Amino acid sequence: MIVIKINYTKKLNPIYVESVDASLLYINEIAQEQELPIQCKMGKEWTDFEKIYTKEAVLNDSLFLRFMQKSIVRSGSDFCKDFIVVKFRYPAKYMIGEEEFSISAHDLRTHYYENGVTFLSEKKTGKKKKQEDTEPIHYKMIYRSPGKAKKGECIFIRENLFHKAINFLTMGLYGLMEEKAKADPEAVFKLVELSAYLGLSTATAIGYLHIPWEQILVIEDEKVLSAPKVAEVVRTHPVSYYDDEFVLDFDDPRLEQILNKHECTLFADVANAKGYRLIQNRTKEEVQKNGIRINGKFPGKHIKKEKIFQECTVDRKEEQIENILWDGMGLIDESIFPEYADGFVYCRSHFFKSCLFRGNVQEYFKDFCVKNNFDFESYMVKDMFGNKKKLSDIKVVITDKSLKWLKFIDMMGGDNKKAYKIYRQYMKEHDDCFSVVKTAHKSKWGDLQLTAYQMNNSLPTTEEKTLKPITEQAVRIIEELKKPDDITYLKYLDWKKDDFNINEVLCALVERNPDFRKTELFRTKKSKDINRLVDNFAEGRLPQQGDNLTICGNPIALLMKAVGENPLDENIFRIENDAIQCYTERFENNANLAAFRNPHNSPNNILHFHNFRADLIAKYFPKLGQNVIIINLIGTDAQARGSGFDEDSDFVLVTDQPELASLAKDAYVKYPTIINKVEELKSSEYHFRLEDYAEMDSKIADAQASIGTSTDAAQLALSYYYDDGMKSRELEEVFIILSVIGQISIDLAKKEFNLNVGREIKRIRNLPCMNKKFVPQFFADTKKRRNNKDFENVKRMNCPMDIMAEIIEQQTGYSERVSHVLIRKLFNKKIKGKANKYKFNKLIEESKKYNDTVKILASSKRKGRLEDDELYKLKRRQMELFLRKASKNLDQITIIQLVNHALMDSNSDVMGTLLNFLYFNYREKFLNCFVKNS
């Protein structure tokens, strides 16, 4: 056996690759074949098509990137042409002459999955243009993470690297499926699962762990039912609809004549003779795929066609509610827990993911042996595959839920034991390495965490006296920031500083001269910061004492099962009628807690916890820290109540704010837990064809929109429900169904359900109870700020969020006026002379270019196309490129003139960039531009 040795200790920079929209790729291909000029539609406008414009994407350090490191080529700035990101968000709409054409995003995906992408980058791989910079590269689709597919994005790889990469990502399963498909083209495969799990080794790593499988014990998870209790059960039932449908008459010769005008034909001989596109399948859909719009000139007839759709129903009844005790989690012994981590390490590897919580695993095993008079060094236990292991060797305990390769046993020998041997061998060859992708961390707000409007608008009350205390923390923060002494505001600036804002610059200038607080620059920044914060609070981002706590399920029970005892005899927590018991170090023993998990769409999802600091847990898990919560899953309804959470690093926002805890208790008692009984299709199987991959990923991309639209619809339903006095059962059923749809939409990346979620949301939005004239004020404000969307009919409603927004606005008045000082009066008048004009102009020019790029990135973030970490890394890269090009060796005179330029009103767009550059690169000279006054 050859072990592939990779250095996991050396830092690996991310690579930056080009990101391109598939619609532009396609229009570019058409343009190269045409002599006539082509126009493309961007938004609502037609513009002349010139060339493909690309952006940058980032591929971070991961198991996959380290494996590919020696096969790919990086430029000095870590730019790489071996990958590109292709986005399938928009159709390709273009015009040749006067004729319009349109290719859907779905068809673009099919086209490029089947044929690959040929792309010539305009970027150079070095300072001088090389041969490879002048030749187009052919790429093949390699993978998408579930998140990328939801955004309509895919990673493509240079064709000659494809087989090396895909066999690493799939542990060779891709090759086995390819062979089987060649032998039997009609064979079907679990492509949804394969695509979802092959991306596990591409996850961004913050560190790596080497854990030999001899030290890992795998046991079967446990399903546990609660006692019967009232629940809201959501199922689907079939409903018939009769639609008017126009059916083309393919036997009518007029149809062939119309198709010929579009250079298409139904006949192979005509296609060969004239070079027309052949429409092989005689369907309306096939005609439309060729960009042909069907209108009244086409021969055919209208028919009534029955269509059967699944629609959701809600039934309130007594049910037992199921929990899976350790779904996606495990335990890791303190002896191998990494120093840089806290509480847990969320690990990923080949078809493996598990959130491993730190604890004294070996100590528990020793105590078990002492209690039962066993020899610790020799006592053996069996894993779920029948392998015997010494307790003294076991450092990690996981369940079968962490092993995603178990879904492919049919391709790995046919049974558990054979599949385990194959997997064990593969992991040995890759040095038994796991990437750590997440660990516990405190809130950026210290002891506070921000709630969301979805949570606050689900609180089951419209009483102002109850809601007002929930806003008090936000109001206190605003009032402290507004004080004219600026002490709290300066702390706020220091706390919120980063490499891209001017907070640190302002703090340094105030330290040099306190009068700087009176300048318009400082006062305007303070006013904007406070107003922005007020808006955020009024739109539901309310700070509360608490934090996001990562969920752990009954760890003592897991240790008991590991040694062969009955985990249901754990006997640590009690069952309560109005709460679920938990254990967390974040709050005091016996505290009542409110908890919320995303997606959160209804009061039926609010969790009420009772904190019980059990001694046995404290003994064996003393270092879980303040960002982990153990939730009792034995005999409770916790998982269903928390929107179907599992324990693979899912978290809940938990607070002990008294009114929220009291409302959580009310919600837990009065709003029964929702049970999702929408049928999950047994297997998401597709043929091993690239068009099937495309169909699958298109479904996932379509479902992404359902998460947002289901949440929006639920918020409207909740607002109408509260505004109507909390009496409408119909509206209650609406937000119950939408809660289930929110769960399903997230799972669609790896499962399929017997429900068209997009259609079901549309049906719900068209119900009479949802057809209200107005939308609530908070909802309109939020959509305006985030999506620039305007609503005509807006009013304040008697719903929790609008009530709290009004309280915040009433409680936060205007700041006290402060006399202003002209900033130029603080300039150092002793600095005189002529600036270096070339360096002066060059820095301003590069600042503008940098600003324009960052604005585009910020726009992408607002539109949900970039995650926070992606945005930060891309901005950081643009900053590095800007610093390389920016002027060097600036003298004092040039610096003061650049400062003067930056502070002119007309240059406010580049002010921050210039001030930051000068401060961080010429700190002493920059500060010397201003007089010192202590």
Per residue in 314-340, pLDDT (tens digit) is: 999 999 999 999 999 999 999 999 999
Closest by Cα among 129, 15, 125 to 68: 15
| pLDDT of the residue at 816 | 67
Partners of 354 in beta bridges: 347
Residue of 882 and 294 predicted with greater confidence: 294
Around Cβ 108, how many Cβ atoms within 10 Å?
25
Per-residue pLDDT, averaged over 795-816, amounts to 91
Same domain, 134 and 266: no
Q: Is the pLDDT of residue 497 over 60?
A: yes
Using an 8 Å Cβ cutoff, are 425 and 405 in contact?
A: no
CATH number at residue 373: 2.40.40.20
Residue whose entry in the numeric block shows the structure tokens 């042909």: 292
Using an 8 Å Cβ cutoff, are 629 and 440 in contact?
A: no
| pLDDT of the residue at 152 | 66
Per-residue pLDDT band for 148 (boundaries 50, 70, 90) equals low
Per-residue pLDDT band for 135 (boundaries 50, 70, 90) equals confident
Same domain, 420 and 283: no
Same domain, 371 and 269: no
Q: Is the pLDDT of residue 831 over 70?
A: yes
Flag whether 917 is in a domain. yes
Same domain, 852 and 915: yes
Q: Is the pLDDT of residue 683 over 70?
A: no
Instruction: Answer with the one of 676, 701, 731 that is the final residue of a domain.
Output: 676
Per-residue pLDDT, averaged over 460-476, amounts to 98
What domain range includes position 336? 322-441+544-676
DSSP state of 605: G
Q: Is the pLDDT of residue 750 over 90?
A: no
Same domain, 878 and 929: yes
Rounded Cα distance between 881 and 878, Å, is: 5
Flag whether 555 is in a domain. yes
Rounded Cα distance between 379 and 608, Å, is: 42
Residue of 707 and 523 predicted with greater confidence: 523
Please tell me the least confidently modeled range out of 668-677, 688-697, 751-760, 828-837. 688-697
Helices 464-482/658-670 angle, 10° precision: 150
Instruction: Answer with the one of 143, 169, 195 that is the final residue of a domain.
Output: 169
Flag whether 180 is in a domain. no
Helices 464-482/800-811 angle, 10° precision: 40
Same domain, 145 and 43: yes
Same domain, 260 and 407: no
Pairing outcome for strands 300-319 and 229-248: antiparallel
Strand segments (E) across 360-444? 380-382, 388-390, 396-399, 433-439
| pLDDT of the residue at 748 | 76
Each residue of 220-267: pLDDT tens digit?
A: 999 999 999 999 999 999 999 888 888 999 999 999 999 999 999 999
Same domain, 42 and 112: yes
Same domain, 569 and 631: yes
Flag whether 751 is in a domain. no
Q: Is the pLDDT of residue 761 over 70?
A: yes
Around Cβ 932, how many Cβ atoms within 10 Å?
11
| pLDDT of the residue at 813 | 75
Q: With b meaning 16 or more CB within 10 Å and e meaning fewer, what string describes 490-528?
A: bebbeeeeeebebbbbbbbbbebbebbbbbebbbebbee
Rounded Cα distance between 780 and 789, Å, is: 8
Instruction: Answer with the one of 676, 703, 721 that is the final residue of a domain.
Output: 676
Per-residue pLDDT band for 132 (boundaries 50, 70, 90) equals low
Flag whether 467 is in a domain. no
Flag whether 509 is in a domain. no
Say which residues have a Cβ less than 8 Å from residue 350's Cβ, sequence separation at least 6: 63, 171, 200, 201, 405, 423, 426, 427, 430
Rounded Cα distance between 764 and 771, Å, is: 10
| pLDDT of the residue at 131 | 57
> What's the whole-number average pLDDT of the chain?
91
| pLDDT of the residue at 128 | 58
Per-residue pLDDT, averaged over 748-772, amounts to 89
Same domain, 266 and 348: no
Percentage above 90 pLDDT, the chain: 71
Rounded Cα distance between 801 and 467, Å, is: 9
Per-residue pLDDT, averaged over 141-151, amounts to 69
Residue of 638 and 706 predicted with greater confidence: 638
| pLDDT of the residue at 125 | 67
Same domain, 284 and 390: no
How many domains is the chain partitioned into structurally?
Answer: 4
Question: What region, left, alpha or beta, does residue 833 occupy, with left being phi > 0 and alpha being psi -120 to 50 degrees?
Answer: left
| pLDDT of the residue at 192 | 84
Rounded Cα distance between 112 and 120, Å, is: 15
Could you give the 3-state DSSP secondary structure of residue 907?
helix
Each residue of 838-878: pLDDT tens digit?
A: 988 888 888 888 888 888 777 766 655 666 777 777 777 78
Rounded Cα distance between 99 and 740, Å, is: 45
Each residue of 13-69: pLDDT tens digit?
A: 999 999 999 999 999 999 888 877 888 887 778 888 888 988 889 999 999 999 999
Using an 8 Å Cβ cutoff, are 294 and 286 in contact?
A: no
Using an 8 Å Cβ cutoff, are 299 and 319 in contact?
A: no
Q: Is the pLDDT of residue 451 over 80?
A: yes
| pLDDT of the residue at 906 | 65
Tell me the one-letter amino acid at 159. Answer: E
Closest by Cα among 894, 913, 879, 931 to 505: 913
Flag whether 593 is in a domain. yes
Same domain, 143 and 282: no
Rounded Cα distance between 734 and 636, Å, is: 25
Per-residue pLDDT band for 216 (boundaries 50, 70, 90) equals very high
Closest by Cα among 799, 756, 754 to 775: 799
Tell me the one-letter amino acid at 667. Answer: A
User: What is the four-CA torsion angle of 113, 119, 123, 124, rounded to 10 degrees?
Assistant: 110
| pLDDT of the residue at 878 | 80
Please tell me the least confidently modeled range out of 6-10, 371-375, 581-585, 806-810. 6-10
Q: Is the pLDDT of residue 150 over 60?
A: no
| pLDDT of the residue at 122 | 85
Residue of 115 and 709 predicted with greater confidence: 115
Q: Is the pLDDT of residue 133 over 70?
A: no
Flag whether 132 is in a domain. yes
